[in-house]
Amino acid sequence: MFDRLFPRRPRDQAPLPEPDAQLALGALLVRVALADRSYTVEEVSQIDRILQATFGLKPLEAAKLRASCEALERHAPGTKEFARILRQEVGYEDRLSLAMSMWKVVLADGRRKTSEELSLHEIEAALGITDADSAVIQAEATGAAPGH
């Protein structure tokens, strides 16, 4: 009787995939979006668009990849581990593009939040992006002059 009322959850859930550059990128985008403890439809849509454009995916493929990235982000190593994977597999110019993509996610809901920006700057530093390049990217993303 109790089994029918309180069914046991299966313990053997599918193991998480080993992070590669695709999953690390997506997980960092999700991590930035979640930094303010709010995950909006606008942020999800922006992440899907970034994954589509970056990896040449169809919308459903991008949504599936994002779902994997969300699971990985919840249970996987810290930001530095994801950044290490990307530093090893992705050139500096592409990491700059990633930083711009993260800004698009941060700004997707129309509100700038300190927690998201701090998370983004932590990720940029872990990716080895210089402060000067970070300032230029932020200025481009926000429409402000560098240093303001």
pLDDT above 60 (res 2)? no
CA angle, residues 97, 45, 60, in degrees to nearest 5: 100
With beta carbons less than 8 A apart as the criterion, state whether 33 and 50 touch. Answer: no
Domain assignment present for 1 = no
Domain assignment present for 148 = no
pLDDT above 90 (res 84)? no
Domain assignment present for 111 = yes
Q: What is the pLDDT of residue 19?
A: 61
With beta carbons less than 8 A apart as the criterion, state whether 19 and 76 touch. Answer: yes
Domain assignment present for 10 = no
- Label residue 49 left, alpha or beta by phi (over 0 means left) and psi (-120 to 50 means alpha): alpha
pLDDT (tens digit per residue) in 19-71: 678 888 899 999 999 988 889 999 999 999 999 999 999 999 999 999 999 99
Instruction: Report the CATH number that the domain containing residue 73 is assigned in CATH.
Output: 1.10.3680
Mean pLDDT of the chain: 85
Domain assignment present for 147 = no
Amino acid at 21: A
- Label residue 37 left, alpha or beta by phi (over 0 means left) and psi (-120 to 50 means alpha): left
Domain assignment present for 42 = yes
Domain count, the chain: 1
Nearest to 65 by CA among 53, 74, 52: 52
Q: What is the pLDDT of residue 132?
A: 97
Domain assignment present for 114 = yes
Domain assignment present for 13 = no
Q: What is the mean pLDDT of residues 83-104?
A: 91
Domain, as residue range, for 72: 19-142
pLDDT (tens digit per residue) in 126-146: 999 999 999 999 999 988 766
- What is d(CA 30, CA 69) in angstroms, rounded to the nearest whole number? 7
